[in-house]
Amino acid sequence: MSLPLKIYSTKQDHHRVSAGIPVHRGTVQYLLCLGYLAVFCGYNIWVASFHNYTVETFHLSALNVGYLFSAAALPGSFAFSIGVIARKISLSTLMVFACSSMGLGLIGIGLAPRSYLLWPGVLLIGIGFTCYYPIINSICIQHSDRRTVSTAVGHLKSYGPLAALVAFFLIAACLPRLGYQNFFVVSGGFVVLIGFWALTDLHIKPYADNPGNLRFKKDLWPYYALNFLAGCRSAGIKAFVLLLLIREHGLLMHETAAVFFIGNICSLIGYRLIGHFADQYQPPKVLSFVYLTVSLIFLGFCFIDSSVIRILLYFFDSLLFGVSVVTDSHLKKVSRPKDTIGNVACGLTLFNLGKTVFPVIGGILWSHFHQHATFLVVSVLAILAVWVSQKLLGPTDRIRAPERPPRYSPVTI
């Protein structure tokens, strides 16, 4: 399966030297993608198997499991600080730290003799994901041609659902043979090794300027708002749609796993399609179409009772999940290169805030009114996102002179 990641390298900077060994820049791109795959694979292994592990090994209640998942999301609330940290520490070092945190978190979970010792491992997993995500996205945004930046970001982010598919196969093939504890330890060890091997001493200076000061910018409010709304939509799918399918239609464990599997295939395709169309058409139009469709999908969850139709709607929503491709690539046009890491990190903070706030609101609506109320709210938020999408390109962007194409030579992974 070919997975081209269209990032561009300058002709005058075609080689780098790391530890005295000349390496083609295309090799650097392979290593960056390998690190991305390792971090997301570790994260998906944790998400897919942690519920069963805590219940079967430690006999934790749903409330305690919820606390642990909240702990994993906690570092995301401080993602905005990555822009400041990256001013003092090299991007290569931060990415190695992120991979190591993810791997050591998995190892810590596997070695935990008591349930309360799961907390450090869960926090390390959250820290690793929060640190790696804005850095790798900013590198991709800055190093891509402005005319094809959405395609490049879409290709990169499609490695996320691909990692989920890899994690699915690893769990199916290795978990029954190794057991939970050994499986977490071995998986975490591989993530740490890949991080040190692939990302140590990478010369990332040509890929990203030094980050600038951290601050929320008034002119980026549509970007922040869309990230918050995307977080609410994500929580609506993961927290309530799957709950609806399980409670109302009695999906079994293997059926739920199959739905997850096909949904990730749809996301893998959707990230690339959204990136392609965002480069071919105006990003606000693409976002408006996506969110208008999402609004109709959640109306379908409200008023259609067929389990088959609801599962198909879930797959269709997974196909349209990659709105961050459009919003993140928008920073290429409106943000200074040295501010990209901080801006992506601030967007991640708002995304996590939406994921934290909406499950509480949606749960209250579900409990005190009806499940339809929860899905109607998501549908209304999607309509709000359609309006916000139209604000992405302001007057200054429309009158800006076209950027002179830089002298780039394409490198395809």
Q: What is the pLDDT along the chain (413 residues), one digit of tens a residue?
A: 433 444 444 333 333 333 344 444 457 777 788 888 899 999 988 887 887 788 788 887 766 776 777 777 778 878 778 777 877 777 888 888 999 999 999 999 999 888 888 899 999 998 998 888 888 888 888 777 777 888 888 888 888 888 888 988 888 888 888 888 899 999 999 999 988 887 776 655 544 444 544 556 777 888 889 989 998 888 787 777 777 777 777 776 667 778 888 888 998 898 889 888 888 888 888 899 999 999 999 999 888 888 889 899 999 998 988 888 888 888 887 777 777 888 888 888 888 888 878 877 887 887 788 778 888 998 999 999 999 998 876 434 443 434 444 444 343 33
Integer Cα distance of 12 and 409 in angstroms: 10
- The CATH superfamily of 19-400 is MFS general substrate transporter like domains (1.20.1250.20)
CA–CA separation, 172 and 165 (whole Å) = 11
Joined together, the tokens standing for residue 337 give: 């290169």
DSSP 74: G
User: In this structure, what token pair is assigned to residue 361?
Assistant: 């609101």
Q: Check residue 407 and report its DSSP letter.
A: -
Q: Which tokens sit at 228?
A: 């918050």
Residue 250 one-letter amino acid:
G
Domain range summary for the chain, segments of one domain joined by + = 19-400
* pTM: predicted TM-score of the whole model, two decimal places: 0.76
Closest CA to 72 of 92, 50, 96: 50
Residue 274 φ/ψ, nearest 5 degrees? -65, -40
Kindly state the tokens that stand for 364: 């209250």
Q: Which of 4, 9, 15 is nearest to 143 (CA)?
A: 9
For residues 229, 168, 302, 67, the Cα torsion angle rounded to the nearest 10 degrees is -60
